[in-house]
Amino acid sequence: MTLANRVTLARIVLIPLVIILLLFGLDGLAFIVFMFLSFSDAVDGYIARRFGEVSDLGKVLDPLADKILVTTVLIALVGLGKASSIPVMLFVVRDLIVSGIRITAAQSNNIIAASRLAKWKTGTQIAAVAMLILNLPLANLVLWAAVILSYISGSAYLWQSKTLKLLKLS
């Protein structure tokens, strides 16, 4: 277990704190913790690269931590009436499909790391969630932009998985 993976696991363990703060109406604190957890994603990546701790576990765990953070907070925001359920359901479906692709690829010793496009998608999702937490204008527009990016990046994962299969068959 590398230091970078420990940071990623700490991010996951702290996610319920954001939900608790939201449920108690402490939106400002929820926003701060959410942003801290979102930006700590860069910390574990930096640590992994800086100290040569890039691992297959980290390549899978890091994007999973992002998905858990964003998805759980979005579901809480739906429950609180701050977000529409339709884009959240679209995210969940896309993430389940992409996770399935990544797990299947990993079983064949092909680790599919997060693409640059997927990182843009995650950044847009984080911006949308932050805006929704704070009830900012245009939050839903940014959320729908993230949905579009998520399906574009999801298509890229599908393409990559098909390419991997084609390479194995030849």
Contacts of 68 (CB under 8 A, 6+ apart): 12, 15
What proportion of the chain, given as a percentage, has pLDDT over 90?
53
Residue 40 has pLDDT above 60, yes or no: yes
The region of weakest confidence among 15-29, 47-61, 100-114, 136-150 is 100-114
Residue 155 has pLDDT above 70, yes or no: yes
pLDDT at 141: 96
* Cβ(41)–Cβ(65) below 8 Å: yes
Which comes out higher in pLDDT, residue 52 or 63? 52
The architecture that CATH gives domain 3-169 is Up-down Bundle (1.20)
Complete DSSP assignment for 14-59: HHHHHHHHHHTT-HHHHHHHHHHHHHHHHHHHHHHHHTT---HHHH
What is the average pLDDT value for the chain, to the nearest integer?
87
- Write down the domain spans for the chain: 3-169
The region of weakest confidence among 14-18, 137-141, 155-159, 162-166 is 162-166
| Mean pLDDT along residues 68-87 | 96
| Mean pLDDT along residues 110-133 | 85
Residue 136 has pLDDT above 60, yes or no: yes
Question: For tokens 């994603």, what's the residue?
Answer: 41
Contacts of 51 (CB under 8 A, 6+ apart): 2, 3, 4
* Cβ(129)–Cβ(73) below 8 Å: yes
Residue 106 has pLDDT above 90, yes or no: no
pLDDT at 170: 47
* Cβ(82)–Cβ(28) below 8 Å: no
Work out the pLDDT band at 16, boundaries 50, 70, 90: very high
Give the model confidence (pLDDT) of 17-33 as tens digits: 999 999 999 999 999 99
